[in-house]
Amino acid sequence: MKYNFDIVIDRSKNRAGKYDERQKKFGTMDVIPLWVADMDFQTAQPIIDACVEKAREGIWGYTYRPDSYFDAILGWQYRRHGWKIDKEKVSWSLGVVPALSSIVKVFTNKGDSVMIQTPVYSEFYDITEAWERTVVENQLVEQEGKWTIDFADFEEKAKDPKVKIFLLCSPHNPLGIVWTKEQLLKMFEICYANDVLMVSDEIHSDLVFHGKKHIPTAMISDKARDHVISCISGTKTFNLAGLQASTNVFPNLDMKAAFDKFWMNLDIHRNNAFSSVAMEAAFLEGEEWLEQLLPYLSDNFDFIKDYCEKYIPKIKPNVPDATYLVWLDCRELGMNNEELRKFMIEEAKLGLNEGYTFGRSLSGFMRLNAACSRSILVKAMERLEAAVNRL
């Protein structure tokens, strides 16, 4: 089946947070929303068909999760990434962020610390501090637009006896980095040597470009397999975040049992009626759609980069190797964070994510969601160019 990602769908009428929360987020509805990380594309037709069939049943009671559900997920991981997962060690959860939050709660105590690599997905701060744990930042180092790990700092922070967990974002949001096996091994070995639990958020693992290859952290060595918790999902891959479902892979049955007990105590242990069939259809029949989506997203990145180089040279976008999120370096505009936020909203009329939410010491960055039709990006870039020219 041929998919057309140029079609613009009016999402203002489907209760989309990305659109309907503009007033709350930006103080106005008059911005192009390029912020929260979901896509403006319809998902694969087999997924739609499965949900329509489920809707026609008209009975959406408590769901049973058949063996075929996890079989589909694990089959996908093996086909796409060569990762052979032990089904006995996987658990369902509402989403990757709820899973990460509960992992912090279950496997640390008040007063403990959690290490993150900034700039990173802002919820890494939130889920740590919500449970009264302390965030420890291993700040990534930027040189001429390229971001790398400060391993000396990483090791120093890992040696702190209060640091109990390291939350890894792989691939990295917002920088679009696909970590190499060597980088993953070095981070893991430091964590292992210092008794720090490595937890790998791999929600963007299917959205990889430019010949790069995602390597599941638990695959890098036998030792990693026995000590890393991995969090995966099809919600980013197939634009299904509103259906709320993810999978967690544990290194042993004791850790799985502790995680499951937390959720059972909340009586949250079932898929909703639609996520069950949607996820299974996605991993069994969604590959054709994904293979057409990836080059479209890659072309969107190139369009943004080329446009900025030609018409807005003061703004320097990265071209991510993963995710559909573009990190904009706006430092040459000479604005502080509040000025930059106000400029994007009031002058450019764009709804972006503020860079300082990903790294609290940062200034002059924004994150742009490029998972939309090209015509929307053209309009957004034209608005940004006009706003910069008025400065």
Beta strands in the chain (DSSP E): 32-33, 90-93, 113-116, 134-137, 141-143, 146-148, 163-169, 197-201, 228-232, 246-249, 316-317, 325-329, 350-351, 353-354, 365-369
195 Cβ contact list (under 8 Å, min separation 6)? none
Along the 391 residues of the chain, how does pLDDT read in single tens digits?
999 999 999 998 889 999 999 999 999 999 999 999 999 999 999 999 999 999 999 999 999 999 999 999 999 999 999 999 999 999 999 999 999 999 999 999 999 999 999 999 999 999 999 999 999 999 999 988 899 999 999 999 999 999 999 999 999 999 999 999 999 999 999 999 999 999 999 999 999 999 999 999 999 999 999 999 999 999 999 999 999 999 999 999 999 999 999 999 999 999 999 999 999 999 999 999 999 999 999 999 999 999 999 999 999 999 999 999 999 999 999 999 999 999 999 999 999 999 999 999 999 999 999 999 999 999 999 999 999 999 9
Question: In angstroms, how far is the first alpha carbon of the chain from the final one?
Answer: 47
How is residue 208 annotated by DSSP?
Answer: B
Q: Using the 8-state DSSP alphabet, how is residue 29 labeled?
A: S
Query: What's this model's pTM, rounded to 2 decimal places?
Result: 0.97
Q: Which pLDDT value is given to residue 349? A: 98
Rounded CA separation 321/311 (Å) = 23
Architecture of domain 11-44+288-389: Alpha-Beta Complex (3.90)
Q: Where are the domains of the chain?
A: 11-44+288-389, 59-285
Identity at 293, one-letter amino acid code: L
Report the alpha-carbon distance of residue 142 to residue 220 in Å, rounded: 26
Question: 């400029």: which residue's tokens?
Answer: 343
Report the candidate in 304, 349, 338 with the shortest Cα–Cα distance to residue 324: 304
The amino acid at residue 24 is K
Task: Please give the full DSSP string across 92-120, using - where no structure is assigned.
Answer: EES-HHHHHHHHHHHH--TT-EEEE-SS-
Are 281 and 246 contacting, i.e. CB atoms less than 8 angstroms apart?
A: no
- In order, the DSSP letters of 222-235 are HHHHTTEEEEE-ST
Q: Does the domain at residues 59-285 carry the CATH identifier 1.25.40.10?
A: no
User: What pLDDT score does 31 carry?
Assistant: 98
